[in-house]
A and B are shown apart, each in its own frame.
Chain A
């Protein structure tokens, strides 16, 4: 009985994670379209939400990796999953507050691995699976995406060099709508599956599902809804960093970046690589900066992001392990509930902090002045 209570709590927490995943990552699909004016900010997040929902139904390969390829499912308990999710959510919210497009996937995977290690020791983690399916793709994917985007950008400018600038801008803005839609679809396909994988993991841990099962339909539907809602809310802070912070983007570059992201994400998900859509999108955007003569990449912003990427897995793991420690110390169902109360309190605090330097659809495209908070707002909190 108490196990069922915990299971319900875990599923709800997982869906909350999925929601943060959605709003943290809206920018991956839509930042460049919003930055070039191809789509209005609100239209962009609405379209992206719908396509994330559709995309979630497209593939189950990544969910399978998460559910069975990273940790020894026999050693995972519901408490472990709950603590791992808490780790993922907290890291996602912190990076969102700072406007850093870090990987939601790594936050989730880090959290789950941390809590598994705290519960059952390092031997319960399938290190080979972790390195070959998560760490190596994390290093390679932005490079591949950057390469594809740089080639694409060069080709687009080359082929349309006889067009007037106005015609080119106009044409590629239309094209960008299409490419942005495909990225949103790809995001739903790749990222919604991560939560599906975790819920499946919890159901297996609880004995509700047999080992090696696929995600049930209700899980897929709930995850699709959660990520779509999160996307619709829009993580304006991250959108701003990606769209305005890295490179000043023109519409051909936007289309090249989005096409590169979409292709790399969709191809990798179909191989079951749980790669980070964030890393791919960032790699693509930097690639378009490299592929266009005279474009300037703000490497200091890129460097800050890369630092956050390196820290994401271990930091989320530490939070996940701490969460497990607290839940284990208190014990039983109450332990999980205590964890979730702490999680809710911290989330509330982070949200309250974010109000001080609000970024929303109205100021998301304001000129980049060095930090995520546009200048007219008193900006001491996010500059750090």
Chain B
């Protein structure tokens, strides 16, 4: 009879960080990878200084083939991870009903 289920707590914190902060970070990595290439330098030169308030270019694709391929792979991994999580929750969430 404990008040706090510590096992559940640490699982929620650790998996929460992995899924809740890790997956969007992976997405950010994908965006970064997508932005690599000649277009980005041009966009920056055209006034959108990277990371500053002046950046009004919203071009996402930098033009590097390898960058794009990596980005696509990363985005697919994220989708697969979400799908897998949802599936896990589905199987966990349908326990056999208690005895009648």
Query: A263 contacts which chain B residues (CB < 8 A)?
Result: 15-16, 19-20, 23
Q: Report whether B89 and A264 are in contact in the complex, using a CB–CB cutoff of 8 Å.
A: no
Q: How many residues of A contact B (CB 8 A)?
A: 61
What CA separation (Å) do A149 and B19 show in the bound complex?
11
Residues 151-174 of A, flagged 1 when their CB comes within 8 A of B and 0 if not, give: 110011001111111111111100
A58-B89, A213-B98, A270-B92 in contact; A260/B50 too (CB < 8 A)? no
Closest to A212 in B: B98
CA of A113 to CA of B17, assembled, Å: 34
* B100 lies within 8 A of A210 (CB): yes
Asked if A136 contacts B3 (CB within 8 A), the reply is yes
Query: Interface size of B by Cβ–Cβ distance < 8 Å?
Result: 57
Contact indicator B24/A144 (Cβ below 8 Å): no
Q: By the criterion CB–CB under 8 Å, are B23 and A259 in contact?
A: yes
Describe B's contact surface by its main secondary structure: helix
| Complex Cα–Cα for A172 and B35 (A) | 13
CA of A136 to CA of B15, assembled, Å: 19
Q: Check if B3 sits within 8 Å of A266, measured CB to CB.
A: no
Q: Which residues of A contact B5 (CB under 8 A)?
A: 132, 271
Which residue in B31, B82, B86, B94 is a CB contact (below 8 Å) of A163? B31
- Which of A60, A169, A264 has a CB less than 8 Å from the CB of B16? A264
Which listed residue, A60, A175, A266, touches B94 by the CB 8 Å rule? A60
CB proximity of B94 to chain A, nearest CB, Å: 6
- Given contacts A59-B92, A162-B50, A212-B100, is CB(A259)–CB(B31) below 8 Å? no
Asked if A167 and B58 sit within 8 Å, CB to CB, the answer is yes
CB distance from A341 to the nearest CB of B (A): 36
From B15, B21, B88, residue with most partner A Cβ within 10 Å = B21
Binding site for A on B (CB under 8 A): 1-5, 8-9, 11-13, 15-17, 19-21, 23-25, 27-29, 31-32, 34-35, 40, 43-44, 48-60, 78, 82, 85-86, 88-90, 92-95, 97-100
Known: A165-B52, A185-B86, A213-B97. 20 other contacts (CB 8 A): A59-B92, A136-B3, A136-B4, A147-B13, A147-B17, A152-B21, A152-B24, A152-B25, A165-B51, A167-B48, A213-B98, A213-B100, A260-B20, A261-B20, A263-B23, A264-B20, A266-B85, A270-B88, A271-B5, A271-B11
Q: Which residues of A does B touch, CB under 8 Å? A: 58-61, 64, 68, 128, 131-132, 136, 140, 144-145, 147-149, 151-152, 155-156, 159-172, 175, 178-179, 182, 185, 189, 210-214, 252, 255-256, 259-264, 266-271, 273
